[in-house]
Amino acid sequence: MKVLVVGGGGREHAIVWKLSQSRHVDKIYCTPGNAGIAEIAECIDMDSSDFSALLDFVKYEWIDLTIVGPEDPLSKGIVDIFEKEGRRILGPTKAAAQLEASKVFSKEFMKRHRIPTAEYKVFTSYVHAADYVRMKGAPIVVKADGLAAGKGVIVASTVDEAMDALKLIMKNKAFGDAGNKVVVEECLQGEEASFMVFTDGKTIAPMVSSQDHKRVFDNDKGPNTGGMGAYSPAPVITDELESIVMKKVMNPVIKGLKSEGIKYKGILYAGLMIHKDKPYVLEFNCRLGDPETQPVLSRLETDLLDISMAITDEKLSGINIQWKEEASVCVVIASSGYPGKYEKGRTIKGLDDAKKIKDVMVFHAGTAFNNNEIVTNGGRVLGVTGTGKDIKAAKKKAYEAIEKIHFDGMHYRKDIADKALN
């Protein structure tokens, strides 16, 4: 079988890597891909927002399955277009992807279906939003309504910080039209966790738990990023809590969408805050999380292609998904300046040495080729992922590999997975 993966980050490298292990897969294409993906798939230089070109490529190459990694093509309706042409594609429709594409839609949907989440208000006026912030005080959370590459959520510890966030989003338009509306919500306290499931719209199969590290610096300091590391399993998600999340969050989402005439097929991600042993939804993503995908897929035993085909055929109930008992830790290496402005084109050294370490996989996120050298090409550059008998062993492997890697200005957190060890 031939598979096309849309995207070019660490998540997509992990997807391609896992697909390459399938006995059914003969050829993998990836667009646009990156230097790491190019080692195991054919990278095609196409714009992932040019759906007609992607569709033509799928038809010409007789692609059997397309898997969409990032949120942007999903939110713009790539699944609807492919399905209309009878092409097999993994991901939710444009209507279903609103859960991620619009914070306002998501919050109002949760309110309608009594899914636990923080109290909130929606604003289109900066003046009214500012008045509300002054009235509520801090800490408080300000969210741009639309997609902002994981950077449109600002947790303000003071009223001044919240005002700055409102100005950034609503006045300065830092995230463009994504900031035409904002959600201002209470700041929930507790421990965060990522909970992802496979679903065909009827059956919901939970993945192993994971936890992301959003802030750029150690001890959760600095601005939010797309994610600086993740680990699996997350001890905060006990078997009992998993049952509660399925009952209170995941089942109501799929049923609620169905009741509104929307079938959800693909991957659903809930970013949770666990407060007093109860889950509250911070956000939904309509695809695999990044970097959570890297440690989670490292633990997947079942063939990812089999799961993907079962989802698209609405036969997920017939798949017994198996996971490895081992733990996995992914540490993201970023460019200097990230999540702000950063330079590209820095030569990366030591990748071959890192690869030689047993139970380590270096997933490429923002990399490219410059002649025969691999260079930086993004804010998040690599996701160094170690696997071991427990979190401690997996973490040791990841950081051991990082010591082999170097490029000018590289930085990474030193405390990934520490929460699981305390």
**Mean pLDDT calculated for residue range 107-111:** 96
Q: Are strands 65-68 and 2-7 parallel, antiparallel or unpaired?
A: parallel
Helix axes 103-112, 251-259, angle to 10 degrees: 90
Q: Helices in 20-68 by DSSP H: which ranges?
A: 51-60
Q: What amino acid is encoded at 52 in this protein?
A: S
- What is the mean pLDDT of the segment spanning 309-319? 97
Instruction: Note the helical H segments in 113-228.
Output: 126-136, 159-166
- Alpha-carbon span 312 to 237, nearest angstrom: 28
Query: CB of 272 within 8 A of CB of 193?
Result: yes
Pull the structure tokens for residue 317: 């109930």
Determine what percent of the chain is predicted with pLDDT higher than 70: 100
Say what the pLDDT of residue 382 is: 98
Q: What is the mean pLDDT of the chain?
A: 95
Q: What is the pLDDT confidence band of residue 276, given thresholds at 50, 70 and 90?
A: confident
For range 281-285, the mean pLDDT: 94
187 and 155 in contact (C-beta within 8 Å)? yes
Question: In the predicted model, is pLDDT for residue 422 greater than 80?
Answer: no
| Chain position carrying tokens 């009235």 | 135
pLDDT tens figures, 31-87: 999 999 999 999 999 988 899 999 999 999 999 999 999 999 999 999 999 999 999
Measure the CA–CA gap between 214 and 151, rounded to whole angstroms: 9
The position carrying tokens 């408080």 is: 140
pLDDT, tens only, 167-182 = 999 999 989 998 999 9
One-character DSSP codes across 217-231: EGGGEEEE-S-SEEE
Distance CA 31, CA 35 (A): 12
Give the pLDDT band (50/70/90) at residue 271. very high
Q: Is 355 helix (H, G, I), strand (E, B) or coil?
A: helix
Distance CA 256, CA 259 (A): 5
Domains parsed from the chain with CATH numbers:
2-91 (3.40.50.20), 125-180 (3.30.1490.20), 191-318 (3.30.470.20), 327-421 (3.90.600.10)
Q: What's the whole-model pTM score?
A: 0.94
The pLDDT of residue 421: 87
Alpha-helical segments (H) within 197-325: 239-245, 251-259, 293-298, 304-312
